Amino acid sequence: MTLPLAFPFIGGRPCLNFAATLGKRHGTPVERLPDPSALARWITEAELAAGTEPVRVTARELTDARALREALYRVVRAAMAGRKPEAADVERINEAAARPDLAPQLGEQRWKSAHPARAALATVARDGVLLVGSPLLERVKECENPECSLLFLDDSQARRRRWCSMDRCGNLAKIAGYRSRSRAAVTE
């Protein structure tokens, strides 16, 4: 039996999916990485695990991962707004991206690394560097649900996607719109 995914993987890029491990940033934040085992599970569910053994994550790696996550989020948001990012955030991301990342493998084992958790985070950091420095950045959006803060790569043909996911926020918006129209029709 396969467990359902514990994390939203709807950002379209590893760095955006990693930023989503802190949800509802505009309200009461939801920490999806409360402990090292949660980070290990995220790495596995993101398909960034090296080998078949569970990823071992230390408390220090969790602290570093959360700091990297926040730096990635702030740098992407700054780039989206056309602002210069904070030097400390750029330094943190560049430092993580400079570490050895996951080595792709043919066959059953998708990745290889001597330090799987650090390598997975280096891979995520590199993805952030590549995204911010590419034309794809113009397609990164924040979900229009005011209670959601997920960033996503709009890969729709018309580039008019508004929600992180139709299964999540898009459906909630449709339900709210329907109820609002129904109430207005009753009062007329």
Tell me the two tokens of residue 62: 């969790």
Q: What is the pLDDT of residues 70-114, one digit of tens each?
A: 999 999 999 999 999 999 999 999 999 999 888 887 877 778 777
Contacts of 12 (CB under 8 A, 6+ apart): 152, 153, 155
Span 157-164, mean pLDDT?
75
Res. 40: pLDDT tops 90: yes
Q: Rounded to two decimals, what is the model's pTM?
A: 0.84
**With 70 as the cut, is the pLDDT of residue 176 above it?**
no
Helix (H, G, I), strand (E, B) or coil at 153: strand
Task: Give the contacts of 181 (CB within 8 A, at least 6 positions apart).
Answer: none
Q: What mean pLDDT value characterizes the chain?
A: 86
Of residues 10 and 65, the one with the higher pLDDT is 65
